[in-house]
Amino acid sequence: MPQTLTISLTGITDLPPGKIAAVVTSLEMHAPPPERPDPPGVEGFTLEPMDGRDTERYLALYRLLGERWMWFSRLVKPRAELEAILTDPAVALYAARYQGRDVGLLELDFRVSGEAELAFFGLDEPVLGKGAGRWLMNRAQALAWAKPISRFWVHTCTIDHQGAVEFYQRSGFKIFKRSIEVDDDPRLAGKMRLDSVPHHPVVT
């Protein structure tokens, strides 16, 4: 039976133990933004299509990038459901590579006709500050708008990187909605390390 929680819109709402909450910001664009050149210093980065059947590689990269930002939706999903998404021909998976290893994930979801969702976009911490974010976004936008879409959208939340919303806005996305997401803390279910996401500590 689904659990419910009444949220106060003018004050504080206490969460039951074991729950986490975040404010989700959704952004969109309805036409390709002006092209922006790649920043200097990104010549060593490459983008490689990933085989959706290689679930272990995908999950290893997902954990590498997302464990410090509470990426957990793919970790708690039943394996068969996850594999069905990753092998769907309307889902495009790419690994950003640098110096011989996977350092970034780009996942584009075209399963809704006429739309693309930037489902996952992330880079490993050691390559941040090298221009890799702009480099990867340039490729995400080119790949998305190469399809017959009229909307490209993404969402991020307050547990994620604090600069994410501003980065997406600089990339041409505009905010259209805010939401509150409440879920079980995946660390208590053993899906993530208990010491992960230290800026959002576990409450039991």
Any domain includes 105: yes
**Alpha-carbon span 53 to 9, nearest angstrom:** 44
Written as six digits, the tokens of 142 are 């080119």
Any domain includes 57: yes
Confidence of residue 120 (pLDDT cuts 50, 70, 90): very high
Provide the CATH number for the domain around residue 150: 3.40.630.30
Average pLDDT over residues 89-99: 97
**pLDDT for res 204:** 85
Written as six digits, the tokens of 5 are 């929680």
Average pLDDT over residues 36-40: 93
Any domain includes 4: no
| Residue 173 dihedral angles phi and psi, to the nearest 5° | -80, 150
Average pLDDT over residues 139-153: 98
**pLDDT for res 9:** 86
Residue 120 lies in domain: 20-184
Q: Residue 80: pLDDT above 80? A: yes
Any domain includes 11: no
Q: How far apart are the first and last CA of the chain?
A: 22
Cβ atoms 60, 101 nearer than 8 A: no
Among 172, 65, 176, 67, residue whose Cα is nearest residue 122:
65
**pLDDT for res 129:** 84
Any domain includes 12: no
Any domain includes 201: no
**pLDDT for res 164:** 96
For 124-129, which contacts have Cβ atoms below 8 Å and span 24 or more sequence positions? 124/64, 124/65, 125/68, 127/45, 127/98, 127/103
Helix, strand, or coil (residue 7): coil
* Mean pLDDT rounded to a whole number for the chain: 95
**pLDDT for res 130:** 85
The structure's pTM equals 0.95
Burial class of residue 185, CB neighbours in 10 A (0-12, 13-18, 19+): buried
**pLDDT for res 23:** 96
The letter for the amino acid at 154 is: V
**pLDDT for res 2:** 63
Confidence of residue 117 (pLDDT cuts 50, 70, 90): very high
Q: Residue 196: pLDDT above 70? A: yes
Q: Residue 163: pLDDT above 70? A: yes
Cβ atoms 107, 71 nearer than 8 A: no
Confidence of residue 98 (pLDDT cuts 50, 70, 90): very high
Any domain includes 142: yes
Any domain includes 104: yes
* Total structural domains within the chain: 1
Q: Residue 30: pLDDT above 80? A: yes
Max Cα-Cα span within the chain: 53
Written as six digits, the tokens of 109 are 């979801």
Q: Residue 25: pLDDT above 90? A: yes
**Edge-to-edge strand list for the sheet holding 19-29:** 45-49, 91-98, 101-109, 115-123, 151-157, 19-29, 174-184
Q: Residue 1: pLDDT above 60? A: no
